[in-house]
């Protein structure tokens, strides 16, 4: 693995009798974009807050660029955190919000204003220096918050669901900007999200968490194409869990073929029959949900839109789903 910017060793957090994070081990490469992904309550935000120093670890170690920081205060860790709420000071304009921590460190006005303006130019907010938070849109406030997090030149930037308050169009634009900022700055970003699309789009490394434990860590493509277990396959989306002679397997929704119920299938293919329960048009793709006849299971096939509308399927139609054995990916049991 390349040089590590962050390493977690048996990191644990307990709240009374409840374990929020359970002895996780994780290595995050230098100058990379890492996304912690999982459902609410899985421990991802608690993990981020322990790295930042805003939560004390119950046990285990946190290393930043090889330096033990487990018991260091936040200001001495070489990290900075951008909060979900942005937490801008309402009485300060954009420049003074960015410069605030420099002011607290006793840096002179001219120097702190120069640095603040430089960072506001980086996030394309140089025309809004004198505006207060209530005069800025959500996306503009996010940019100011990002500049403020970067003002002390951290080696690791921590982001707690930074896009969740934005509308869908702006969310896509801002995730492109975050990736560009990370590349241009050359520092590590650790980004908490519950959005699979966000994690796959941003992450050089995607870490899927459940019940305070890491279920899988790998590149976005590895996690999507080769989920480690049933939980990851279901949570990451785009997969069907099927039963084969080898046990549970995942088959990507876009690898399932759909045909009328009596249609023949290739001899080497696997198949099941079912009833169309839902059809969702999604632009370039159409999602068809099929309730399996032989079991209480539902499967999803994603079809190219032109192929679907050339021979559409109505609700209630009897159909056949088929796939090739080469498209099966073996899975560990759920949560394993």
Consecutive 10-residue averages of pLDDT for the chain (336 residues): 88 97 98 97 97 97 97 95 87 96 93 94 92 93 92 94 86 90 94 96 97 98 96 95 88 95 84 95 96 90 96 95 94 67
Taking alpha carbons only, the member of 26, 27, 17, 28 closest to residue 58 is 17
Over the Cα atoms of the chain, what is R_g? 24
Half-sphere exposure of 263 (CA within 13 A, CB side): 17
pTM listed for this prediction: 0.91
Cβ-based burial of 7 (10 A; exposed 0-12, middle 13-18, buried ≥19): middle
Q: What's the pLDDT at 1?
A: 52
Cα angle for residues 31, 32, 38 (degrees, 5° grid): 145
Q: What's the pLDDT at 107?
A: 93
Q: What's the pLDDT at 334?
A: 57
**Lookup result for tokens 């700055």:** 185
Contacts of 142 (CB under 8 A, 6+ apart): 86, 162, 163, 166, 174
User: E strands, the chain, where?
Assistant: 4-15, 18-29, 33-37, 59-64, 67-68, 79-82, 156-160, 188-193, 205-210, 213-218, 239-244, 247-252, 257-260, 270-281, 285-292, 298-304, 318-323, 329-330
Cβ proximity of 302 and 253 under 8 Å: yes
**Lookup result for tokens 């899975």:** 331
Cβ proximity of 142 and 64 under 8 Å: no
Q: What's the pLDDT at 126?
A: 93
**Can you spell out the DSSP letters for 107-162?**
--HHHHHHHHHHHHHHTT-GGGTT--GGGS-HHHHHHHHHHHHHTT--SEEEEEST
Q: What's the pLDDT at 243?
A: 83
Question: What's the Cα-to-Cα distance from 111 to each of 76, 217, 325, rounded to whole Å?
Answer: 22, 42, 64
Cβ neighbour number for residue 285 with a 10 Å cutoff:
16
What b/e readout covers 216-252, taking b as 16+ CB neighbours within 10 angstroms? bbbebeebbeebbbbbbbebbebbbbbeeeeebbbbb
- Residue ranges and CATH numbers for the domains of the chain are 4-230 (3.40.50.300), 240-330 (2.40.50.100)
Question: What's the Cα-to-Cα distance from 202 to each of 39, 137, 174, 176, rounded to whole Å?
Answer: 18, 23, 11, 8
**Can you spell out the DSSP letters for 50-83?**
HHHTSS--SEEEEEETTEE-TTS-GGGTTEEEE-
């Amino acid at each position: 693995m390349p040089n590590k910017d962050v390493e977690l060793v048996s990191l644990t957090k307990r709240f009374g009798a409840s374990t929020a994070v359970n002895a996780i081990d994780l290595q995050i490469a230098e100058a990379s974009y890492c996304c912690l992904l999982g459902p609410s309550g899985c421990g991802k935000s608690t993990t981020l807050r322990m790295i930042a120093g805003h939560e004390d670890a119950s046990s285990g170690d946190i290393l930043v660029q090889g330096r033990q920081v487990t018991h260091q205060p936040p200001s001495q860790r070489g990290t900075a955190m951008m909060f979900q709420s942005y937490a801008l000071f309402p009485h300060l304009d954009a420049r003074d919000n960015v410069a605030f921590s420099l002011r607290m460190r006793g840096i002179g006005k001219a120097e702190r204003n120069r640095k603040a303006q430089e960072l506001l130019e980086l996030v394309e907010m140089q025309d809004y220096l004198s505006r207060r938070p209530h005069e800025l849109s959500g996306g503009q406030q996010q940019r100011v918050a990002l500049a403020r997090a970067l003002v002390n030149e951290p080696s690791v930037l921590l982001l707690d669901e930074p896009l969740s308050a934005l509308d869908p169009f702006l969310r896509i634009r801002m995730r492109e900007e975050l990736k560009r900022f990370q590349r241009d700055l050359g520092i590590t970003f650790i980004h908490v999200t519950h959005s699979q699309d966000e994690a796959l789009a941003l992450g050089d490394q995607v870490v899927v968490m459940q019940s305070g434990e890491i279920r899988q860590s790998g590149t976005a493509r590895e996690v999507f194409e080769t989920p480690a277990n049933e939980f990851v396959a279901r949570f990451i989306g785009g997969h069907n869990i099927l039963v084969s002679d080898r046990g549970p397997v995942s088959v990507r929704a876009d690898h399932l073929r759909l045909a009328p119920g009596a249609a023949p299938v290739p001899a080497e293919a696997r198949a099941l029959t079912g009833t169309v329960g839902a059809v969702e048009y999604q632009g370039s793709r159409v999602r068809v949900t099929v309730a399996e006849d032989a079991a209480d299971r539902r499967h999803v096939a994603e079809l190219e839109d032109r192929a679907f509308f050339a021979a559409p399927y109505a609700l209630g139609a009897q159909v056949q789903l088929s796939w090739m054995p080469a498209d099966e990916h073996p899975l560990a049991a759920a949560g394993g």
